[in-house]
Amino acid sequence: MARRPQRRPLALTMGEPAGVAGEIVIKAWHAPDGRPVPAFAVLGDPEWLRAEAHRIKSHSHIIEVASMDEAGRRFFEGVPVLPVPLKVKAVPGAPDAANGAAVIAAIDKAVALARGGEAAGVVTNPIHKATLYQAGFKFPGHTEYLASLCGGTAPVMMLVIEGLRVVPVTVHVSLAQAVRSLTREAIIAAGAATHRALIQDLGIAKPRLAVAALNPHAGEGGAMGDEETRIIAPAISDLRSQGLEVTGPLPADALFHAGARARYDAAICMYHDQALIPLKTLDFAGGVNVTLGLPIVRTSPDHGTALDIAGQDRADPSSLVAALRLAEAIAFERAKRA
């Protein structure tokens, strides 16, 4: 099992306990590809993780710890857990709203540890939103809740795989609403946040941004839509006036082949699937969700709770491993600049 010298551990939330989170946490601790895995502490129920370890026939020790410091020191021994008890026993594939308060408490505690400097950052396992809504959760999802906990910042979502970073300007809305809500200001905000993050979090001195068009053939001079000339091009002009290196609007159907990807550091996309389809096609298992614009580091696996395969020892931990490694890299880059 490959390990590295430990810095501050990462706070890893338990996510939906009826999904695959417990399984991928245990598999991630084992460093399945033989490369080092950053130290982390799970904010979750120790008995839940022990049951998951037994189910997948893992001999990993589940170690209850009292602090992030203890988690870092004992990470070689087993999976460290800062206890957040579940109200009822988790049943694979069957979320229970009774556990919603514990899922939310794990997020709260992880953010508090990161904001207090005890954790290097937060890595969130997937939540089951419908179940949390039943438990009284008032936010559309993780990102909005984290922003609220961090003082109401306006976060931006970036998805990352090896060789591609994408930022959707509009996110979890219908395609019709995405077109209606697309604004010059939103594109400028997404571009500026991405530019800052590439410098501060990833150490790219002179980021290159590519901005996707909305319509086929970038609108074909207005024949296929005027959003490019009316909204997107003016936003690009504003970003360039701020000193950013930006190209576009570029036809989305030619933006993601290997030659095109070599010409930019991140692609600003107009809607969710325009960003996610190429990324998941290139590397479905390894994607990482990064929240830009927060005072803390936050990453997450780019997949859901996978209730359909929960408890079956079929879950791939690659995305969680990538999220842990990227969170550590961003935390290290921020520490260098502090």
* Residue-wise pLDDT tens digits, 152-174: 777 889 999 999 999 999 988 89
Instruction: For 227-249, write each residue's pLDDT tens digit.
Output: 999 999 999 999 999 999 999 99
Q: Who contacts 83 (Cβ-Cβ below 8 Å, separation ≥6)?
A: 44, 45, 46, 64
Could you identify the residue written with the tokens 């008890």? 85
Which tokens belong to 321?
Answer: 């491993």
Q: Any idea which fold 1-154+294-338 has? A: Isopropylmalate Dehydrogenase (3.40.718)
Digit-by-digit pLDDT tens for the chain (338 residues) are 444 444 799 999 999 999 999 999 999 999 888 888 999 999 999 999 999 999 999 989 999 999 999 999 999 999 999 999 999 999 999 999 999 999 999 999 999 999 999 999 999 999 999 999 999 998 888 888 999 999 877 788 999 999 999 999 998 889 999 999 999 999 999 999 999 999 999 999 999 999 999 999 998 888 899 999 999 999 999 999 999 999 999 999 999 999 999 999 999 999 999 999 999 999 988 999 999 989 999 999 999 999 999 999 999 999 999 999 999 999 999 988 77
Sign of CA dihedral 9, 126, 159, 259: positive
Annotate 285-316 with b (16+ C-beta within 10 A) or e (fewer). Answer: ebbbbbbbbbebbbbbbbbebbbebbbeeebb
- pTM value is 0.92
Domain 163-282: give its CATH superfamily.
Isopropylmalate Dehydrogenase (3.40.718.10)
In angstroms, the CA 48 to CA 45 distance is 5
Alpha helices in the chain (DSSP H): 21-29, 46-55, 68-74, 100-115, 129-134, 142-149, 175-181, 184-200, 227, 233-241, 258-261, 272-282, 318-337
Nearest to 111 by CA among 177, 196, 43: 43
**At residue 67, what is the residue type?**
S
| In contact, 267 and 212? CB cutoff 8 Å | yes
d(CA 203, CA 247): 21
* Cis peptide upstream of residue 249 (ω within 30 degrees of 0): yes
The pLDDT value given to residue 142: 87
Q: How confident is the model at residue 3, as a pLDDT?
A: 43
Q: Do the domains 1-154+294-338 and 163-282 sit in the same CATH topology, yes or no?
A: yes
Q: Above pLDDT 90, what percent of the chain?
A: 86
* Interatomic CA distance for residues 271 and 111, integer angstroms: 28
**Separation CA 305–CA 76 (nearest Å):** 27
* Angle value at C-alpha 24, between 80 and 39, nearest 5 degrees: 35
Q: Where are the domains of the chain?
A: 1-154+294-338, 163-282
Kindly give the residue spans of alpha helices, DSSP state H, lying in 175-317.
Answer: 175-181, 184-200, 227, 233-241, 258-261, 272-282
Write down the pLDDT at residue 6: 46
Token pair belonging to 222 = 């207005």
Only one residue has tokens 């591609």, namely 164
